[in-house]
Structure 1
């Protein structure tokens, strides 16, 4: 049976007649025409290695349950995993609220069928604006990667320029996604960080009339807090460039928000604000700007605000400046924005309302303290050094001089510990949150010490390199 004649029991549109009718409707000869822009290097060039479809629903359910049973969550293991998805505590009321049918089942919604969703998102926007010291925050977009890419695209449109200078360490996955998103109009040039933070002097030599934006990540991919932002902002603005910051908002109960330091566009992900890890995370992106029409009108995402109705004295919640979006402009829009992650915005709104300013301040102080405690505990071990001297929030790297990072991971997994993410052969990215106790950190340090001190043999996977 050829792929052209195969009808998948779960996908009725795979029927040959249906396939031909859809191709005829769009004027295409084959499905391959839809993938013409996908580079050959990214193509699989073979069928997916999938089992034959299980026709009976109970057989399919059993098969899927068997696959899911192999998962181990961070609730079952002691986890120091981060790198973009974090194990912060989610209050029970957050899940309770977003399970309500008027939120859980409302994909888009209109005023005549809205049951509080627009107001809930307006409250989220307001709370985020207060946390970030910004004026305007969007309804959440797909994820933080898209949000930062959109912030850079906005800078390109506002300046009419084509270069971006990246001055911070950024997660490779995020950099890849951002490059792909803006590659048609912007080129990213990396300025190597020094001791974990931006090298402002090198940046000054690269700024010119072609630079649309200076991109700062804080915390960086390794958790470093950028302390030179005012100087970066000053240099960028002198060159006519816009400062775009990619950040995680979890620390701004104690840290100075980028907007206060002069940033023009602040972007990031709200996963840390009341969203679970869920084997990859619930993610949603935010874009924040000052109350400047030039910037607001470049935002492609939906904005909800308080609006007057046809009845004098009555108000409701609805779209603000809807005409700037691709929903209104369609193919004439400046940038297309598809599915919003609105449900996660409601979740973060509930989280922020529960925490309040005092709660966010306490959380930020705790994260800084736990991070420093973990750094000191691991740096005290023989053959272990911190990756840099910067101030860190939640994440940091350690370098092993006599053993590979992957060997540490393998050994500790056997003890029910996920010690972090291997950055390279000798470097481990470690993450702590408020869910990580001091005793958890002590356990991690003791386990790593045991691996370092363990007897080795030429055939052991933990053989130290100098003895191999």
Structure 2
């Protein structure tokens, strides 16, 4: 591929060749390549990227993007049973109305004297999440639930001074990969596969804890498979007896019907707020939360921003701002516990609106609906010839595994479902070619589930 001749990009003024030459001369170099001299040659590409020719006009760019988008199919026009971490929940119109207000949508940073509304909105979000989680301290959201899990585990390592982390639940491979990368080199993750019934192997956990070097036992509630593990309280007891912390990743939408992690011994709860009023967005729309009790040793290890409420010099008036700002990398820079930059604050504001709108009764109602739909879907699919539902007698929330016992793989079944206007389950290659993870939420109806079952019956 030949290099693209120099030109002025219509949206990047400094790309004009004359301007580029002047900028390079000002910093004392002849080429942009000089800026990358410290990167070893073995890591350099040494050729132009294999990209199509640039589109020179806005009209051409718009047409090109519209053609690309027209070839896609969204979960709005296709019946979808995809979940596995990014869920199709209903987002009330008032949530979009609030987060699209300019003072929230365009706000990036700021201090209490210039950003009162956003800081108060984040404080309200933290307060609502704390009530939901039976916790006392909740952070301003980080990028996603994966990062929140990695941060929670690093916090546990700093508190205990230990190195090893035990992953004891069925965990998404992508999450396990990111967390493992995020916590190294200070910590290493030991994965203890769950038992055949999907629950944590308490005997294996006990044996690993005997070494005395475990910083945290890390469990999921529910597990990646959607399983609700009845042994979660036992894990807390084992962890604490061995001097380790108990970290639980949870789906916050379950907490209207399931006990919050703090109630069964979790020292740190973490997770993703995507189910709380955040749209699915090309697999994204994520923001991560951390929650603990107001224990000085734990709060001191939060690397993320915390907003608090304090009285002002005017009686009856209050202000909202950072709590213990000196903990953060904003204050400590390279000495910070972790680097904290742009957070997913807008999603936090949306989640706060969602929680305020739902209230305790609404959260209970939606949780009961999801549990009922999940149980119905498991029962209906188990009736389909060639379909097996592992852990059929266990309680699942939203996600549940399905195994195809015939000759067709999960990929082939999904392809056949797509021909009927249905997105099938998320593939689980680590479990073999015949297993997938299906998902139902409050947005599905019994008619939707019946349609899936009937369609599967017609796939040979």
Is 1:117 matched up with 2:122?
no
What's 2:348 paired with?
A: 345
Cα shift at 1:21 = 6.4
Show CA shifts across 1:430-458 (max 9, x none): 00000010110000000011103xxxxxx
* Residue 201 (structure 1) aligns with: 203
2:396 equivalent among 392, 395, 399: 392
Offset from partner CA, 1:338-357 (integer Å, 9 cap, x none): 11110100000000011000
Structure 2's unaligned 5+ residue stretches are none
Taking the aligned partners of 2:25 and 2:374, their CA distance within structure 1 comes to 59
User: Post-superposition shift, 1:24?
Assistant: 6.2
- How is 1:178-193 mapped onto 2 (pairs within 5 angstroms)? 178-193=179-194
CA distance in 1, matches of 2:296, 2:25: 46
1:119-169 CA-partner distances (Å, limit 9, x unpaired) = 111111111111111110001111111111000110111111111110011
Query: 1:309 Cα shift?
Result: 2.4
Match for residue 416 of structure 1?
421
With the length of structure 2 as denominator, give the TM-score of the two structures. 0.92
Q: 1:316 to 1:39 in 2, by over 3 A?
A: farther
CA shift, 1:294, in A, is 0.7
Contact in 2 for aligned 1:139/1:303 (Cα 8 Å)? yes
Q: 1:18 to 1:83 in 2, by over 3 A?
A: farther
3-state DSSP of counterpart to 1:113? coil
Which residue number corresponds to residue 253 of structure 2?
A: 250
The residue number in structure 2 matching 1:448 is 456
SS, match of residue 368 in structure 1: helix
Residues 29-44 of structure 1: matches in 2 within 5 Å? 30-33=34-37
Deviation at 1:314, TM superposition (A): 2.6
TM-score, normalised relative to structure 1: 0.90
Distance 1:313 1:268, change over 3 A: same
Q: How many Å apart are 1:32 and its aligned residue?
A: 3.8
Deviates further, 110-119 or 87-96: 110-119
Distance 1:276 1:232 in 2: 33
8 Å Cα contact 1:23-1:31 kept in structure 2: no
Say whether residues 1:71 and 2:72 are aligned partners.
yes
What is the 5 A alignment of 1:280-295?
A: 280-295=283-298
Separation in 2 of the partners of 1:399 and 1:317? 51
CA distance in 2, matches of 1:94, 1:22: 49
CA distance in 2, matches of 1:22, 1:176: 43
Aligned counterpart, 1:229: 232
User: 1:258-273 alignment to 2 at 5 Å?
Assistant: 258-273=261-276
What is the SS of the residue equivalent to 1:230? helix
Corresponding residue SS for 2:459:
helix
Cα separation, partners in 2 of 1:70 and 1:307, compared to 1, 3 Å: same
User: 1:154 is matched with which residue?
Assistant: 155
Residues 254-279 of structure 1: CA distance to partner in whole angstroms, max 9, x if unpaired? 10111100001111100000011122
Q: CA RMSD in A?
A: 2.3
Q: Which residue of 2 aligns with 1:336?
A: 339
Report the number of matched residues: 447
Distance across 2 between alignment mates of 1:160 and 1:240: 11
Match of 2:378 among 361, 375, 384: 375
